């Protein structure tokens, strides 16, 4: 739906602070909060289907817990947990575009910066590629 708040959520501490900000935003705009977990296994190394199943279960756990938490903070909020089979950045961009979202909210890579450098940082890529405003919530410390 137009005007949704899209939150990228992967269970990390950074994602949790982003969750709190996203809940506040969704409440203020009276918008639906879409909580997105994106995944895509490495295509090298053969068939991936039941690996994908396991990843989907993991993701469902993440977005499920996050939705419960969002509802605890704001019981009136409309929350939609989503597991998308694309790389995190693509998952967020696709969901946000599809829903004509107001803003994409993500946590900054807080815990281990070097890991972000190796793995590629989601907020960084989003800032470069997104046509929808991106809000990067700082790591809590």
Partner 1 sequence: MTTVTGLVGAAAPGPDVAPSKGLKVGALGLLSSIVIGVASTAPAYSLAASLGLVTAAVGLLAPSVMVLAFIPMLFIASAYFYLNRVDPDCGTTFTWVTRAIGPKTGWMAGWGILITDLVVMPSLAQIAGQYTFLLFGANGLANNRFWVGFLGVIWIIIMTAICVIGIELSARTQVGLLSAEIVILAIFAVVALVKVYASHVVGSLHPTLGWFNPLHISSTGALAGAILTAVFIYWGWDTAVTVNEEAKNTKRTPGVAAVLSTLVLVGIYVVVSTAAQAFHGAGFLTANSNDVLNALSRDVFGNGWDKFLIVAVLSSASASTQTTILPAARSALSMSVHKAIPRRFGTIHPRFLTPAYATTWFGALAIVWFVGLSIISNEVLLDSILALGFGIAFYYAMTGYACVIYYRRLLFRSVKNFVFVGLAPLVGALILTWAFLDSIFVYSNPANAAGAQVWFRFVRFNVHVAGIHFYADGLGPPLIIGIGLLVIGLPLMLAWMIRHREFFRHTAEHAESLHTPAPPLTPGAAAPTD
Please select the residue that binds partner 1; options are 48, 108, 124, 132, rule is CB under 8 A. Answer: 48
d(CA 3, CA 11): 24
Residue of the chain from 68, 117, 129, 140 that contacts partner 1 (CB under 8 A): 68
Rg from Cα positions in the chain: 15
Q: At 24, list the tokens.
A: 């506040």
Residues 6+ apart with CB under 8 A from 138: 17, 108, 110
Q: Is 74 in the site for partner 1 (CB under 8 A)?
A: no
Gap between the Cα atoms of 32 and 81, Å rounded: 11
Helix (H, G, I), strand (E, B) or coil at 101: coil
Least distance in Å: CB of 12 to partner 1? 7
Name the token pair of 122: 């989601």
Q: Is position 64 an interface residue for partner 1 (rule: CB under 8 A)?
A: yes
- Minimum CB separation of residue 29 from partner 1 in Å reads 20
Write down the H helix ranges in the chain.
13-29, 49-73, 88-98, 113-119, 122-129
Q: Closest distance between partner 1 and the C-beta of residue 59, in Å?
A: 9
Q: How far is the CB of 48 from partner 1 (least distance, A)?
A: 6
Residues in the interface with partner 1 (CB under 8 A) total: 40
With CB under 8 A as the contact rule, the residue among 47, 128, 131, 141 that binds partner 1 is: 47
Residues that bind partner 1 (CB under 8 A): 10-12, 39-40, 42-51, 53-58, 60-65, 67-68, 71, 80-86, 115, 118-119
């Amino acid at each position: 739906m137009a005007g949704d708040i899209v939150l990228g959520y992967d269970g990390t501490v950074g994602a949790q602070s982003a969750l709190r900000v996203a809940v506040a935003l969704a409440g203020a705009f009276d918008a639906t909060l879409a909580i997105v977990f994106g995944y895509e296994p490495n295509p090298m190394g053969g068939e991936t289907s039941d690996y994908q199943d396991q990843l989907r279960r993991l993701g469902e756990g993440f977005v499920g817990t996050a939705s419960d938490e969002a509802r605890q903070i704001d019981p009136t909020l409309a929350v939609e947990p989503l597991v998308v089979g694309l790389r995190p950045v693509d998952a967020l961009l696709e969901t946000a575009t599809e829903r004509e979202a107001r803003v994409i909210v993500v946590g900054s890579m807080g815990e281990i910066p070097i890991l972000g450098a190796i793995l590629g940082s989601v907020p960084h890529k989003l800032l470069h590629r997104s046509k929808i405003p991106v809000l990067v919530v700082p790591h809590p410390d």
